């Protein structure tokens, strides 16, 4: 891919190098500031979540350009962790990238205002003061080279939550939460927690089993309460607008916890919600690695952290079925929402979709990654592409060469597209695949 000598991101110029792989289509997204448009569903959701955590510091303007240290090293990612690879992450250059998750700001914010040997450990950017950040939320746009379908998009938004305690305070806090709420099972969420802290999801050597269990319960209660309260608001809104019958039992939101793994938490979980008949992963979470708290200059504290995918939650709340809609500038989308309100999205007419298959031999070097194709299609077709899916793959019995076939579905969210237009796009996709990915078309 031809790379310019410098890239300008949000007014700052960065040198490029052999790692640079951020496309203009992605750079354009960094300026959209969806979380700062008060009637955008993502901003409405951000405000609702902020309101649920009045005693946490709130951040929503941290720069998306971070160092590899912030995004990976500070969180304990191994040098060979797949998340670091150019196929998964948008690099500006070797040391600078578009954050792939809001966890990139954990250490910086925990350390804000803390000093070691007279040096400030972390300074929050963008004019944010340096309070004692014992509990905070970070809402932000994040970027990943990822597959293309209705629930994955290369730019999306996350809400990070970090809650730390001094070691002797944590048990009191849990007791208070329990007193206020009673058993988890009686809440409106049908909580299926089949996970166990154990060998495959271990307590860190720095923590006692009780500390980990207490942190985990406090975290799960806190997250569960937030999700249930927000989903309940959505149901109430639908009832008052007549979209749902006014009567009926208490709404139930099946939620479940799954064991997970992150370099920066242990034990770790993912939270899933039943949505349109399928379990949708909405967040990752866990007990924070003690090394991070130690590095932040707070070795006496322990804590938990979560990272929600805001689009996934917003899709549930507003009934938005395609993740591309969040980026739509069609007034028929924007006009449906107003600050502080949850209402069901009324889909506008669906335009016909059109599928095109492309078959090709992989380069002999074997140097081909699906995400390169995803980015290429995204660059050529923009948001006209709805999904890209591999439908076939085989090795030639004699030559051993590998053939793959991908199905590209094109569908506009907001207008009619002519056949001629799609054909021209598909032709460009095909020729760019040859020129840039080194494949040979069949």
The residues binding ligand FA5 (CB under 6 A) are 101, 103, 144, 146, 152-153, 156, 158, 160, 262, 265, 281-286, 305-307, 309, 311-312
H-state helical runs in 279-409: 290-295, 310-318, 331-334, 370-381
Nearer residue to ligand FA5 within complex by CB, 379 or 426 = 379
**Residue 309: CB minimum distance to ligand FA5, A:** 2
Nearer residue to ligand FA5 within complex by CB, 301 or 422 = 301
Nearer residue to ligand FA5 within complex by CB, 91 or 326 = 326
* Residue with the shortest CB distance to ligand FA5: 309
Nearer residue to ligand FA5 within complex by CB, 312 or 378 = 312
Nearer residue to ligand FA5 within complex by CB, 304 or 360 = 304
> Cα–Cα distance between 56 and 69 in angstroms, integer?
25
Nearer residue to ligand FA5 within complex by CB, 17 or 52 = 52
> Cα–Cα distance between 1 and 334 in angstroms, integer?
35
Distance between start and end Cα atoms, the chain: 22
Helix (H, G, I), strand (E, B) or coil at 181: helix
**Residue 387: CB minimum distance to ligand FA5, A:** 13
User: What residues have CB less than 8 Å from 116, skipping those under 6 apart?
Assistant: 297
**Residue 16: CB minimum distance to ligand FA5, A:** 24
Helix (H, G, I), strand (E, B) or coil at 220: helix
Residue 309 dihedral angles phi and psi, to the nearest 5°: -85, 115
Largest CA distance in the chain: 70
Helix (H, G, I), strand (E, B) or coil at 53: coil
**Residue 349: CB minimum distance to ligand FA5, A:** 25
**Residue 271: CB minimum distance to ligand FA5, A:** 8
**Residue 85: CB minimum distance to ligand FA5, A:** 14
Cα–Cα distance list, 198 to 178, 288, 419 (Å) = 24, 16, 56
């Amino acid at each position: 891919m031809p790379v310019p000598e410098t890239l300008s991101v949000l007014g700052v110029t960065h040198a490029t190098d052999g790692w640079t792989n951020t496309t203009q289509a992605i750079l354009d997204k960094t300026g959209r500031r969806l979380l700062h448009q008060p009637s955008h569903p993502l901003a409405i959701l951000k405000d609702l979540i902020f309101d649920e955590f009045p005693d946490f510091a709130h951040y929503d303007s941290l720069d998306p350009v971070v160092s590899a240290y912030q995004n990976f090293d500070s969180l304990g990612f191994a040098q060979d962790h797949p998340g670091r690879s150019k196929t998964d992450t948008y690099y500006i250059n070797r040391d600078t990238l578009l954050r792939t998750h809001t966890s990139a700001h954990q250490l910086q914010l925990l350390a804000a205002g803390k000093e070691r040997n007279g040096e400030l450990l972390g300074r929050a950017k963008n004019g944010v003061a340096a309070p004692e950040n014992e509990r905070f939320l970070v809402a932000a746009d994040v970027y990943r080279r990822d597959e293309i379908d209705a629930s994955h998009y290369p730019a999306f938004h996350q809400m990070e939550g970090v809650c730390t305690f001094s070691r002797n305070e944590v048990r009191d806090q849990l007791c208070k939460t329990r007193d206020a709420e009673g058993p988890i099972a009686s809440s409106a969420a049908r909580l299926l927690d089949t996970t166990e802290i154990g060998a495959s999801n271990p307590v860190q050597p720095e923590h006692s089993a009780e500390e980990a269990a207490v942190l985990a319960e406090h975290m799960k209660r806190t997250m569960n309460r937030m999700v249930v309260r927000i989903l309940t608001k959505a149901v109430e809104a639908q009832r008052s607008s007549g979209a749902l019958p006014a009567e009926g039992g208490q709404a139930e939101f099946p939620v479940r916890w799954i064991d997970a793994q992150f370099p920066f938490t242990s034990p770790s979980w993912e939270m899933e919600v039943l949505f349109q008949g399928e379990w949708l992963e909405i967040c990752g979470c866990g007990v924070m690695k003690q090394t991070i708290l130690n590095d932040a200059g707070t070795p006496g504290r322990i804590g938990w952290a979560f990272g929600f995918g805001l689009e996934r939650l917003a899709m549930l709340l507003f009934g938005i079925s395609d993740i591309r809609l969040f980026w739509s500038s069609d007034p028929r989308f924007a006009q449906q929402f107003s600050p502080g309100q949850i209402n069901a999205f009324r889909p506008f007419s669906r335009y016909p979709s059109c599928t095109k298959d492309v078959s090709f031999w992989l380069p002999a070097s074997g140097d081909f990654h699906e995400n390169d194709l995803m980015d290429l299609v995204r660059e050529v077709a923009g948001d006209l592409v709805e999904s890209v899916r591999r439908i076939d793959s085989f090795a030639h019995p004699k030559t051993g060469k590998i053939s793959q076939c991908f199905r590209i579905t094109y569908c506009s969210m907001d207008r009619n597209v002519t056949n001629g237009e799609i054909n021209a796009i598909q032709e460009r996709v095909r020729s760019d695949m040859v020129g840039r990915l080194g494949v040979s078309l069949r």
